[in-house]
Each structure stands twice: as structure tokens, then as C-alpha cells.
Homo-oligomer: A and B are copies of this chain.
Amino acid sequence: MTVERWGVHEVELTGPAHGNPYADVRLTAEFQYRNRIVEVDGFYDGDGRYVVRFSPDREGTWRYVTRSNAPELDGRRGTFACGPPGPGNHGPVRVRGGHAFGYADGTRYLPLGTTCYHWTHYADDELEESTLRSLADSPFTKVRMCLLPTKDMVPPLLAFPGDTPGRLDLTRFEPAFFARFERRLRDLLALGIEADVILLHPYDKGHWGVDDMTREQDFFLLRYTLARLSAFRHVWWSISNEYDFNRAKTAEDWERLGQFVQRHDPYQRLRSIHNGTRMYEYERIYDFTRPWITHQSIQHWDARLTGDWVAACPKPVVIDEIGYEGTVERRWGNITGRALLRQFWHAAAAGGFVGHGECYPDGRYDDSAWISRGGRLRGESVPRIAFLRRLLEEGPADIVGARRRGEYWLEYVGARQPAHLDVELPPGAAYRVELIDTWDMTVTELPGVHRERVRVALDGRLDLAVRVRRTE
């Protein structure tokens, strides 16, 4: 069987089922292509079944050999062939050019994400398929989704065995939970949508007992999760959501956890950590210059600060939470579609990206349907984000760099109402200039080619932007 490049090859083995194999059995494998060797962890999948999951990044023949403290899992060898990537497989996303992302094959990647924290946790196939249809029709290229439950949830399955609050068995895992999670990861992969997996969060408040585990318990969970999920090329790691709301952990704990993931992920998937905050407290954002962090995963209420974050740290700016479009009473879930779209544009014009979320109650579940359970998208911002995506796809990968070189930029006027905008054009070049209505989704080119300076009449309209492109 040939595995496509950046696809997943699985080695299945049978081994000991007695005792606690999750804790007792160590299983690793070395995969080798010519002189390149990648060591990965295997994992126990229950019922005596062991799996080593591997994602090859070179085409050709790979050999492997296993290592284990269980004799029947040790020294098992094999080979498999890695062929070219299939349609739509561009490889994993990497940071490219400072503040931008690209797939491994060179294709541009725009992180226009949305949030469905627990869309896989309710074992509700109809809802999950509705979510997938919504995502397929949406402009979104990334979903933030949690591994662990919140205290208000009563899901049929959790990552750990058990269903009694405070009495989960934290020494084992629940393979059926992971199997469903992985099935939905594969569905996202088929849609070309990245999965930003949130490993920890502070919303358990001692209920299930999963947000104040010991360091060893955290490492145990992370290592198992990495063994199962890291081979999926579209997985990103968010060490924690709103890490600073977790009172059981210190700054040192978060550093150890981040470095642990860095050390144990053979593929070096994208890694960050997301602050909670009173939104305007700039200083509570994580120190994204830390070496283990690949990109800035920010929560803040104001994307007008994007330029600051771009300047402060040479890593992509992804404002994963900025307030959700919706009608719930909590302040994070009741901004208008127009307000959310403005955030997307402020960030985009400065070379950053905003994450979407929706809280329109659907009457069926709780107050915050899309962001917690997925389902149907109904907000006004979604089609306008699709329009923005189309414009961004027409532009350079690195807006900041292109602007610096005088090649391309966006001037976003947004909620302001200047009578006109005077755009200074670098000397010695000619430019095409377009007026963009970000809400009505129109692009109107100004006649002619412009040099040195152009005055764009805005006529009291709101939510406008100007696109400037060098023509010679």
C-alpha cells in the first residue's frame, strides 16, 4: 500500500492487554528514509491493540523498527512506500516569511479561523455533519476545538474513562473518545480545514478534575494525544485556551508544557498558547518570543493593535478571539456582524488575522450554539469574511513586506467617515487604486493609473477600504 506524502501510515500491533498498558507499556518506532530518521511514539488503543501512526514527508521507501518494553511489540520491522500527495494535499502549514503562513508545497495558507470548542464531544452525528456542511460552505480555513470538556458538559465520552465528576480515571485513556475525535479530524482534513487543537483549558473548575492535574498527569495526557494526533498534517497545538484564567498553573508550568510538546512532536506542528484577558490588558498576552511558540495566538478586543503585535514579535499574528457575533448576554458573545468584520479588516490591512465565532442561540441547545457545538452558521459576517478571503488570495502572501516594498497594500477606513482619503504613493512607480466596500462586497477601480498621490472620495460611506497595487 502506498501512502501519500504528508498522509498517515499506521502500523498496528497486538500486545499486552493486562494491567494498565497506557502507563506500563512503552512503544516507539524509528522510521527511516535514506539517512533521515524520525522517532515517533506509538499508543495503546485498547483491547490489546497498539498503533504507531506516522506521517512521511519524503517520497520513496520508508523502513521502520519498533522499540518497546513489551517483548511482543519490540523489534517489529517493516517498510512502506510513500508516493506523491493526493489532490488537495499541500502538506502541513508552516510559518513563512515572518508574519505569514504557507503549506509545505509552497501554496499560501490564510488562517481565517472559526471556533467550535466542543463540536465533537456530544456524539451527535447529525449535528457534527451539519457543522461540517457549514464549514464546507464557509470561508474558514481553521477550527479551534478542545480536547477536554468544560464543567457544564455531560458528554457521553471523555478523553479519560469514567462519567462521574471528580472520579475520572486519569491513569488511562478512552480510545473511543479519541476515535471519534480523529474521525472528525479526518473530515476536516478532507475539507482542507486546519484543526487548532486546544490541549488544556481552565473551564473545568475542579468539576471533572482535568484542569488542575499534576505535572505528570498533564505530560501523560499530552504524550498520548501527541502520539495519536501529531501525524495528522493539519493539526496545530494550542497548549491552553485562556491559560491565565487557570489558577492551578504557574508561568513556569506553561513553559514546561509548551516545551514538552515541542520535544515530543516529531513533526513540529504549529504551536501557541492563547490568553484569556480582560481584553484590553495588553500585558497579559503570552510572551510569544519564546522559542517554542510558532505564532501569536492572541485574545484581544481590538485588532487595531495588529501593527503593534507585528512589530513586537516576528511571528504571525492570529487574533483567535476578539468577540463573537451574536446575541447572548455575555459580553464576549454579542457583537454585531459589522463589528466583527471590522476587526477582520483592521487585522488584514496590518498583516494579521482574526478568528470568527458566532453565538446565535438556536433554541436547541445552550446560549452559544456555534462556538460550543457547531451546527449552522447564520451571522452576517460570514459572507463578508469570504469576500475578504477572496481579496487576500488575490494579494501577496506577506502584506507587511509588500507594503514595505511599495508593491501592495490595503488602507482600511472602516467605522470612520473621512470625506476622502489621500494616499501617498512611493515615487517612481505607478499604481492602480480600487475602492472596496467591505460590507456590500464591491470593488470599484478608480480610472487611470496613479502616481505620487491619489485622493479617493469616500462620500460619507462607512466600511470602505482602498487597495493599492503597483503596475510598473
Chain A residues 317-341 with CB under 8 Å of chain B are: 326-329, 331, 334-336, 339
A415 touches B305 (CB 8 A): no
> Which residue of B304, B305, B329, B417 contacts A421 across the interface (Cβ within 8 Å)?
B329
A329 touches B418 (CB 8 A): yes
Q: Is A460 among interface residues, defined by CB-CB distance under 8 A? A: yes
CB distance from A304 to the nearest CB of B (A): 7
Q: Is A260 among interface residues, defined by CB-CB distance under 8 A? A: no
A418 touches B327 (CB 8 A): yes
Known: A280-B305, A336-B462. A328 touches B415 (CB 8 A): no
CA distance A336 to B460 in the complex (A): 10
Chain A residues 281-319 with CB under 8 Å of chain B are: 282, 302, 304-305
Q: A328 contacts which chain B residues (CB < 8 A)?
A: 418-419
Q: A326 contacts which chain B residues (CB < 8 A)?
A: 417
A419 touches B280 (CB 8 A): no
Q: A420 contacts which chain B residues (CB < 8 A)?
A: 329
Number of copies of this protein chain within its complex: 2
Q: Is A416 among interface residues, defined by CB-CB distance under 8 A? A: yes
Q: A329 contacts which chain B residues (CB < 8 A)?
A: 418-422
A335 touches B280 (CB 8 A): no
> Which residue of B280, B336, B462 contacts A417 across the interface (Cβ within 8 Å)?
B336
The A interface is mostly helix, strand or loop, or mixed, namely loop
Q: A339 contacts which chain B residues (CB < 8 A)?
A: 415
B302 touches A415 (CB 8 A): no
> Which residue of B280, B361, B415, B417 contacts A327 across the interface (Cβ within 8 Å)?
B417
B305 touches A417 (CB 8 A): no
CB distance from A332 to the nearest CB of B (A): 10
Q: Specify the chain B residue showing the minimal Cβ separation from A328.
A: B418
Known: A280-B305, A421-B329, A422-B329. A416 touches B462 (CB 8 A): no
CB distance from A51 to the nearest CB of B (A): 47
B302 touches A417 (CB 8 A): no
A416 touches B302 (CB 8 A): no
Q: Specify the chain B residue showing the minimal Cβ separation from A367.
A: B419
A415 touches B335 (CB 8 A): yes
Q: A421 contacts which chain B residues (CB < 8 A)?
A: 329
CB distance from A118 to the nearest CB of B (A): 22
Q: A419 contacts which chain B residues (CB < 8 A)?
A: 327-329, 361
CA distance A331 to B334 in the complex (A): 27
Q: Specify the chain B residue showing the minimal Cβ separation from A331.
A: B416
> Which residue of B280, B361, B417, B460 contacts A304 across the interface (Cβ within 8 Å)?
B280
A334 touches B280 (CB 8 A): no
A336 touches B422 (CB 8 A): no
Q: Specify the chain B residue showing the minimal Cβ separation from A326.
A: B417
13 contacts between A and B (CB under 8 A): A282-B282, A328-B418, A329-B418, A329-B420, A329-B421, A329-B422, A334-B417, A334-B418, A335-B416, A336-B415, A336-B416, A336-B417, A361-B419
With A280-B282, A329-B419 known, 16 other A-B pairs at CB within 8 A are: A280-B304, A282-B282, A326-B417, A327-B419, A327-B460, A328-B418, A328-B419, A329-B418, A329-B420, A329-B421, A331-B416, A334-B418, A335-B416, A336-B415, A336-B416, A336-B417
Residues of A at under 8 Å CB distance from B?
280, 282, 302, 304-305, 326-329, 331, 334-336, 339, 361, 415-422, 460, 462
By Cβ-Cβ distance, the 8 closest A-B pairs, closest first, are A334-B418, A327-B419, A334-B416, A329-B418, A336-B417, A334-B417, A327-B418, A327-B417
